[in-house]
Amino acid sequence: MAPTYDVIVLGLGGMGSAAAHHLAARGARVLGLERFGPVHAHGSSHGGSRITRQSYFEDPAYVPLLLRAYELYDRIERDSGREIALLCGGMMVGRPDCRTVAGAVRSARQWDLPHEMLDAREIRRRFPTMNPLDDEVALYEARAGLLRPEATVAAHLQLATKAGADLHFEEPVTRWEELPGGRGVRVHTPENSYTAGQLVICPGAWAPQLLADLGVPVRIERQVMYWFEPEGGTEPFLPERQPVFVWEEADGVQVYGFPAIDGPSGGVKVAFFRKNGAPCTPATIDRTVTSAEAEEMAAAMRRVTPTLPGTFLRAVTCMYSTTPDEHFVIARHPAHPGTTTVACGFSGHGFKFVPVVGEILADLALDGTTAHPIGLFDPLRFGTKAETNTTAPASARGGAR
Please give the pLDDT value at position 273: 93
Q: What is the average pLDDT across 153-168?
A: 98
CB atoms within 10 A of CB 373: 13
Q: Which pLDDT tens digit goes with each residue over 173-229?
A: 999 999 999 999 999 999 999 999 999 999 999 999 999 889 899 999 999 999 999
Residue 236 neighbours by CB under 8 Å, 6+ apart: 128, 129, 230, 242, 307
168: β partners: 33
Q: How much of the chain, in percent, has pLDDT values that exceed 70?
A: 95
Give the pLDDT mean for 18-26: 98
H-state helical runs in 233-308? 291-304
Q: Is the pLDDT of residue 377 over 50?
A: yes
pTM attached to this predicted model: 0.94
Residues in the chain: 401
pLDDT at residue 384 tops 90: no
Rounded to whole angstroms, how far apart are CA atoms 377 and 256? 25
- Do the Cβ atoms of 361 and 7 come closer than 8 Å? no
Contact 13, 167 (CB under 8 A): no
Backbone angles phi, psi at 78, to 5 degrees: -65, -45
Question: How many CA atoms lie within 13 Å of 271's alpha carbon, on the beta-carbon side?
Answer: 24
Residue 304 CA to its chain's centroid (Å): 25
CB 202 within 8 A of CB 401: yes
Contact call for residues 327 and 347 (beta carbons, < 8 A): yes
